[in-house]
Amino acid sequence: MNAKKTPAVKKAPAKKKAAAAAKAPVERKSGEASALGILLPLFTLAIFVSAALLFFVQPMFAKMVLPKLGGTPAVWSVAMVFFQTVLLAGYAYAHFLTRNLQGRQAVMIHIAVMAAAILFLPLGIASGWTKPPASGEAFWLLGLFAVSIGLPFFALSANGPLLQAWFARTAHPAAKDPYFLYAASNVGSFLALLAYPFAVEPLTRLQQQTFGWSAGFVLLIVLIAGCGYLIWNTKDLKAAKASEGETAGKPTWSEAAVWVALAAIPSGLLIAVTSHISTDVAAVPFLWVVPLALYLLTYVLVFSRFAAYVHQAAVILQPLFIAALIASQVFEGFDSIFWILTIHIAAFFFTALVCHGELARLRPAPAYLTEFYMWMSAGGMLGGIAAALIAPQIFNWVAEYPILIVLALLCRPGWIWPTGRYATVFFWLALAIVAAAALAPAFGYRVPLLSDLAPGTYTYMKWVIGALLVASILISFDSVKYAYIIALCFLTIKAYENIDSRTRHTLRSFFGVHKVTDSYDSRFRVLLHGTTIHGAQRMMTNDFKPYSGRPELTTYYYKSAAIAQAVAQARLNKNGPINYAVVGLGTGTLACHKQEKDSVTYYEIDPTTIEIATNPSRYGFSFLQQCAPDAKIVLGDARLTIADAPDGSYDFIVIDAFSSDAIPVHLMTKEAVEIYKRKLAPRGVLVMHISNRHLELASVVAGIAAANGMVVRTHNTTEGDTEVSDEDYKFSGTVSAIVNKPEDFGALDEARHWNDENVDPQQWVWTDDYSNVLGAMLRHSRGY
């Protein structure tokens, strides 16, 4: 019986084990299928959210910092350098984790870094960083960014390559080529960048933005933890992937150098084209958004499924837009700012697309993904540093723009270099002859035959440029010859610009490019900041004799101008000599409204402007020297420096610090007017010069004045004013006068063209926490 029972007892467990063994693979496959099902959506969402936060924080924090440096557009250029530098650090950190640590260790360390970054939330400017130095503003700004948002931005920067590397270790079918996730990353960046100025900024306050961003950061930690959980047991798979990558060959130093170059040139060009169009074309609000958005879009396209077709189309179209860009600087018919901007931005887009297309085409196997991104980020950083920090110290104009365009053309496919001793000699000889023929007339030399075909220096130049552009398109397949011809075009244009040039001085500082020029008839000396006139002084009479005596009041400050009327009313309110303050020096024209025993203080942020206004022997502007030699000039941002003045000390304050049509918002907020109000005498007058080609600001001034218990009248027409004359540099403008009580307007209450400015209940009051530049643009476009 025992012999019979024993087999029976053993058979039952054997059947159960067999059944269990049969079921086990099914259960494991079902679990793996479920995990694989959520793997790609989860990783894609985490990368998308991380990229969106990364590019959302850039304009948000730059907005916080802008008031520290007078709202200058250069703040954005330096901010880009910081972001690119920290991006490199994040990519290097991601590369270290994936190369040296197992999956579980990497997950734990990165989540710990993300958690540590929570200590910096909600984001804000670090304590102790109040006033910038008189020089070295760029490095001070880099330090401010580092101590304020360095760790959160560093943690976010690592997510893109790190999550892609983790995904490449999984068994998902798409893990063999995870570069498509980089496109998802750039889509998130692209949408966040567009959403901020056009949706988030107009509808939310800065405090709400920082808290919303903080919530998104915490959500991202949860998503990354989920991704980490899914790859928790991929230790063995990592080794397998590495061996697969090794078969493709480890990247060489020369390949890394090519990646760096292909990333650096578009990065530098992004900053250069933004500087050029805002300095020499039009300082339009939000203009910096367009090149950066297109820059991100190129990455989306070159890492998409249609990358090969996109790259081929870009290579074909790029020469056409480069030719149009050069033609717009030489030939008539390109007077529209819209078309000029379109040409510059389109040329930049296709140039970046070609470079990034080559970059994507040369990418390594997934095993070296993080190394590729690290070198690519290094290139972006170097390009940014070269364009934002080094170029302004070397060039007095935006010379980096054409230089980077030429370097970008060398990145085109089709690098053909002459081989053989005679071919090389003939090649360089031919190039030298073409260059000599193109440039000779610019230096006073006549070219036989060619000069007879195109009499006149500028006509000859147009013929030369036209011929070179046709040749450039025909040989664009040869990147070396093509780049040379385009470089020759730029050199020719610059050489002929110096013939009979009315520009006497060009100076470049952190705050922009200043040009001191003569008017077309040499009657006036003019100061330009970018495309905005900052002052003009008469040098000759209308019959072209040297002008002598007290400088004539010009631009927006002539005798019957709105600002002159406001000065006169402040003098009546005081019934004696006045003490007045001017925010924004320009050429110092307002100094010539000073009467005996008056005193004037200027608040100016740019040392270069002070140099121009106080050195008449060199630059020709003598307003300060002749009218107010004892004027006090305070260097620094006026919002900070005027706060140090004694309360009630000024009878008249004028805010005229707009360096271009891109306004320093922090000078026209509720809190700013609160400071100005404290500094005014009891019957003092505050004037804001708000002329702008793109923004309606009178209603903004009405709101911030009412929020401080003050009243506003605005002067916005010069109909019937016989003094207004563009030829004599006397311009109409929009000026708001603000006082504590209506009776303080005095004569302005009855004067022509002065109207009460009522508060719009539909508009939010501009504060340090909220502004809506988009709304001001829309109101201007509707004719308000």
Express each pLDDT in 736-773 by its tens digit: 999 999 999 998 888 888 988 888 888 999 998 888 88
Q: Give the DSSP letter of residue 442.
A: G
Segment 448-475 mean pLDDT? 71
Residue 462 tokens read as 């147009």
Residue 675 pLDDT greater than 80, yes or no: yes
Coil/strand/helix, residue 586 = coil
Express each pLDDT in 384-430 by its tens digit: 889 888 888 888 888 899 999 999 999 998 766 666 666 667 767 77
pLDDT at 421: 64
Coil/strand/helix, residue 426 = helix
- Mean of the per-residue pLDDT values for the chain? 83
Residue 624 tokens read as 């300060």
Which of the given ranges, 66-80, 269-283, 709-723, has the highest pLDDT on average?
A: 709-723
Other beta carbons within 10 Å of 574: 19
Which residues lie closer than 8 Å to 390 by C-beta, 6 or more apart? none
pLDDT at 592: 95
Question: With contact defined as beta carbons under 8 Å apart, do 382 and 264 qualify?
Answer: yes
* Range with lowest mean pLDDT among 72-81, 379-388, 661-670, 684-693: 72-81
Residue 711 tokens read as 């009243």
Express each pLDDT in 543-586 by its tens digit: 999 999 899 999 999 988 999 999 999 999 999 999 999 999 99
Residue 445 pLDDT greater than 60, yes or no: no
How far is residue 649 from each of residues 105, 432, 594, 705, measured CA to CA in Å? 64, 67, 16, 19
pLDDT at 218: 96
More confident residue, 457 or 388: 388
Residue 750 tokens read as 């009855």
Residue 526 pLDDT greater than 70, yes or no: yes
Segment 500-513 mean pLDDT? 80
Question: With contact defined as beta carbons under 8 Å apart, do 539 and 100 qualify?
Answer: no
Q: Which amino acid does the sequence have at 553?
A: L
Residue 658 tokens read as 């707009």
In percent, the amount of the chain with pLDDT more than 70 equals 84
Residue 81 pLDDT greater than 60, yes or no: yes
pLDDT at 516: 94
C-alpha 226: how far from chain center: 35
Question: With contact defined as beta carbons under 8 Å apart, do 642 and 676 qualify?
Answer: yes
Residue 93 pLDDT greater than 50, yes or no: yes
- The CA distance from 602 to 588, in Å, is 9
Residues constituting the chain: 784
C-alpha 660: how far from chain center: 15
The DSSP line for 488-504 is: HHHHHHHHHHTTT--EE
* Range with lowest mean pLDDT among 281-290, 494-503, 746-755: 281-290
Which of the given ranges, 55-69, 103-117, 722-736, has the highest pLDDT on average?
A: 103-117
More confident residue, 14 or 334: 334
**What is the pLDDT confidence band of residue 491, given thresholds at 50, 70 and 90?**
confident
- The CA distance from 93 to 174, in Å, is 25
pLDDT at 351: 96
**What is the pLDDT confidence band of residue 280, given thresholds at 50, 70 and 90?**
low
Express each pLDDT in 591-617 by its tens digit: 999 999 999 999 998 899 999 999 999
What are the backbone dihedrals phi and psi of residue 754, each rounded to the nearest 5 degrees, phi first? -95, 125
More confident residue, 530 or 254: 254
**What is the pLDDT confidence band of residue 34, given thresholds at 50, 70 and 90?**
low
Residue identified by tokens 């679990």 is 31
Residue 420: left if φ>0, alpha if ψ -120 to 50, beta else—which one?
A: left
**What is the pLDDT confidence band of residue 706, given thresholds at 50, 70 and 90?**
very high
- The CA distance from 93 to 87, in Å, is 10
Which of the given ranges, 288-292, 430-434, 500-504, 704-708, has the highest pLDDT on average?
A: 704-708
Helix (H) or strand (E) segment spanning residue 78 = helix 74-100
How far is residue 17 from each of residues 26, 68, 77, measured CA to CA in Å? 15, 74, 69
Express each pLDDT in 613-655 by its tens digit: 999 999 999 999 999 999 999 998 888 889 999 999 999 999 9
The DSSP line for 161-193 is: HHHHHHHHTS--GGGGSTTHHHHHHHHHHHHHH
Residue 446 pLDDT greater than 90, yes or no: no
Express each pLDDT in 305-357 by its tens digit: 888 999 999 999 999 999 999 998 888 767 666 788 889 999 999 999 999 99
Q: Of 78, 92, 94, which is closest to residue 145 (Cα–Cα)?
A: 78
Other beta carbons within 10 Å of 740: 19
Coil/strand/helix, residue 686 = strand
**What is the pLDDT confidence band of residue 17, given thresholds at 50, 70 and 90?**
very low
pLDDT at 457: 62
Print the SS3 string covering 617-654.
HHHCCCHHHHHCCCCEEEECCHHHHHHHCCCCCEEEEE
Where would I find the H helices in 476-615? 479-497, 562-574, 607-613
pLDDT at 458: 66
Residue 65 pLDDT greater than 60, yes or no: yes
pLDDT at 500: 56
The sign of the dihedral angle between the CA atoms of 84, 386, 397, 667 is positive
In percent, the amount of the chain with pLDDT more than 90 equals 41
pLDDT at 540: 94
What are the backbone dihedrals phi and psi of residue 309, each rounded to the nearest 5 degrees, phi first? -70, -40
Residue 528 tokens read as 């330009």
pLDDT at 197: 81
pLDDT at 240: 39
Per-residue burial over 712-738, b if 16 or more Cβ lie within 10 Å, else e, is bbbbbebeebeebeeebbbbbbbbbbb
**What is the pLDDT confidence band of residue 709, given thresholds at 50, 70 and 90?**
very high
Express each pLDDT in 199-241 by its tens digit: 888 889 988 999 999 999 999 999 999 998 888 765 444 443 4
pLDDT at 455: 47
Residue 12 pLDDT greater than 60, yes or no: no
